[in-house]
Amino acid sequence: MLDTEHPVKTSTFSFGLGQEQRLLPICSLGSQNSAVTMKKQKFIILLIILNILAIGAFIIWYCNRTYPIIGHDYRLFMPYMIDSYLHQKINGLTIQWYTPSFAGGRPVYSSPEDLQFSLPQLLLWVVDPWTAILASLLIFIMIGFVATYYFLKRLLGLGSFASILGAVFFIANGFYFEHAAVGHITYQAFPLFAVIVVILTHPRLSTWMGGVFLSLVITLLVYSGIQNIAFFPLISIIFFPLLYLIKPSLMNWKKIFSIALLGGILAALLCGSKIYAIYSFMRFFPRLTQDNYTTNLWTGFVAMIHQLLGTMTLAPFYQMINGQHAIGFIEYLIKSTGSGYEYWELDASISPALVILLAGGAFAFLLHKPDFKAPVNKRRLIAEVCLILAIWLVIEFTLAKGIIYPHLRNLPPLSSLRGNVRYVCAFIFPLAVVGAVIFDNWTKNWKSKTRTLIIFILLDGIALGSLLAFRSIPTQNLMFVCDYRPMLNTYDKIRYDGETFPVKYVIPEAYPWSVFEENATNLIDPYNVLFNPLKGGYAPALHAGSVDDIDNGFYNMIDPTGYLFPESNDSSRFERIPVSEKAQFLDFINRRQPNWKLPRREQILIWTALVTLVVVTGILLAYSARKWLRFPTQRAKD
């Protein structure tokens, strides 16, 4: 270490040199240290970029394994994206309340899975649907990776290598990869949980700005399909007690609750019209569903372990036993959960590198002798109890049984959610953070930086190399059955040829991706979990043929206001559009915005959202300007 108290010693043989000349060795050493630090920073940035590129390259390959045949649920979302794009091309960036394309005419904005204001939908203005979906995946991966690294490095105080590993462990998981591959676009924003953690725990972020940022993240989640809303509370109840045990100073409860309250209020103002629309639809058509698995609590817990070990850890062992494909692993995973779901719905695999660290940390914990004479830290004890209860609650949610969950499952919106096996994802981020902490505690006191680097490269290599295990999964288990080519052809005609595809016919069995080219609406919505059960109501009301056919004073099209706002439009469920509303009928089949009425409450909520968006945008611009203008001023002073 440089002795700054006795600088003369560094220039004993200065032979009468001046003071500035005698201090040159010290300045030279400072410059050398600065250069070393700069090189290290560049090296860390390079490692971050390389890891993001590796994960991004893998997800692009995985989703394109059988291109142009892609994941089955893209049959659901991609026609809806094209439909909303066509609406926006004709009407501008207005709310698409209804569509004539599907089920004889139905609501759009009121669907919890509506994507019309999501990132992939926005990208549709510049690239085709498949490229837009892949690009948004990469954007969310990059944001989640950087946010996780920032939290671990800057806020939790871990080393750079540990922080990179933690980010890799969180982003590179089977849960995210599988749902991306099969077409669950509404899961793309899952990595944003790391952003929420940064917002809630950043010590230098003001409460006001934290609330603003949090509201924007929540709004993005709601308008991206609302699926992650169910996951994030379960991740939170595990993670925040765990964070208190790791670094209590980050848990400023007063500030966290203030940010959460302010963010929740602003998000309610921004999303109020969307939430009210969803409520208005589901008051008539509640999706009541429940999962019931054949496992008990013990066998279900073992199945959860298998889900978390999953493809990246277990599949290679099964592959060695069975040969080229991990058939045995897939069969056992499906059977062990007792859920009846397919492989892609169950895999939530974490990295084997993380498993190694967790096993090592558990072994070290068991060898550690507790100090029974130490005074009891009541706050820490409360955090430990909360963590245990949170883990138990997440286990009950995942297994759809237990002591607490049966009393909650009938509450809205839990009564409308299924696929409880997905809730195992609540463990991924907390385990990734624990793994990073274990690595940091293990290596931070090592004198040999080379040794630390070697261990990091080994674990990082295992984490990224384990992605190759997905190659052993047969494509039939991934449900790659959606042909993208017809949808690309439709998109190209809309974008480059100016086609609007007005609706002229009712073709009962037309597929969702073919209704545009056939200038038709169909009487099926086979992949829509909200509208497919309603087929018994809307299908008998219409007949195959022209939408202009008039029968008993009604056109051959469903009046979609009957699903959503019947009181304001004097309509009813499954009723057709009356001839007295010819103008609205013509607008509807030509994809223009019909002049159907909205309730006063909905109108107020829309204007409230617009005003709130303007105010929030102004706050962000002012905050950004203040940050950018501060630096030149500060440098001038220095």
Per residue in 250-268, pLDDT (tens digit) is 999 999 999 999 999 999 9
* pLDDT tens-place string over residues 158-184: 999 999 999 999 999 999 999 999 999
Task: Measure CA of the first residue to CA of the last residue in the chain; give whole Å.
Answer: 27
Is residue 290 in some structural domain? Answer: yes
Is residue 12 in some structural domain? Answer: no
With a cut of 50, say whether residue 19 has pLDDT above it. no
Name the packing angle between helices 129-150 and 485-497 (round to 10°): 100
With a cut of 70, say whether residue 10 has pLDDT above it. no
Q: Are strands 520-521 and 505-506 parallel, antiparallel or unpaired?
A: parallel
What is the 3-state secondary structure of 189-246?
CHHHHHHHHHHHHCCCCCHHHHHHHHHHHHHHHHHCCCHHHHHHHHHHHHHHHHHHHH
- Which of 451, 482, 513 corresponds to the end of one domain? 482
> Which whole number is the average pLDDT over 243-249?
96
Cis omega (within 30 of 0) for bond into 413:
yes
Q: What is the pLDDT of residue 496?
A: 96
**Shared domain check, 414 and 290:** yes
**Shared domain check, 523 and 389:** no
**What's CA 388's distance to the chain center, in Å?**
26
Please count the other Cβ atoms lying within 10 Å of the Cβ belonging to residue 338: 17
**Shared domain check, 188 and 51:** yes
Higher pLDDT, 22 or 389: 389
**Shared domain check, 517 and 397:** no
**Shared domain check, 515 and 464:** no
Is residue 624 in some structural domain? Answer: no
Task: Please report which confidence band the pLDDT of residue 416 belongs to, taking 50, 70 and 90 as the band edges.
Answer: confident
Q: What is the pLDDT of residue 13?
A: 35
**What are the structure tokens assigned to 391, written together?**
């883990």
Q: How many domains does the chain have?
A: 2
**Shared domain check, 289 and 192:** yes
- Residue for token pair 């660290």: 357
**Shared domain check, 513 and 427:** no
Distance CA 426, CA 84 (A): 32
Mean pLDDT across the chain: 90
Higher pLDDT, 632 or 427: 427
Task: Please report which confidence band the pLDDT of residue 31 belongs to, taking 50, 70 and 90 as the band edges.
Answer: low
Is residue 9 in some structural domain? Answer: no
b/e sequence 264-273, b meaning 16+ C-beta within 10 Å = eebbbbbbbb
pTM strictly above 0.95: no
> Which whole number is the average pLDDT over 148-161?
97
**Shared domain check, 369 and 225:** yes
| 121 closest CA partner among 225, 218, 272, 20 | 225
Is residue 97 in some structural domain? Answer: no
- Which of 545, 567, 589 corresponds to the end of one domain? 589
Task: Please report which confidence band the pLDDT of residue 328 belongs to, taking 50, 70 and 90 as the band edges.
Answer: confident
> Which whole number is the average pLDDT over 112-135?
96
| 244 closest CA partner among 207, 200, 204, 308 | 200
**Shared domain check, 476 and 510:** no
**Shared domain check, 410 and 551:** no
Burial class (CB in 10 A: 0-12, 13-18, 19+), 376: exposed
Host domain of residue 545:
503-589
Q: How far is CA 399 from CA 232, 426, 455, 529, in A?
A: 18, 13, 37, 22
Is residue 567 in some structural domain? Answer: yes
**Shared domain check, 380 and 269:** yes
CA atoms 338, 342, 345, 349: torsion sign:
positive
Among 4-13, 308-317, 345-354, 600-609, name the one with the lowest average pLDDT.
Answer: 4-13
Is residue 369 in some structural domain? Answer: yes
Is residue 230 in some structural domain? Answer: yes
Q: What is the pLDDT of residue 573?
A: 92
With a cut of 90, say whether residue 448 has pLDDT above it. no
**Shared domain check, 530 and 468:** no
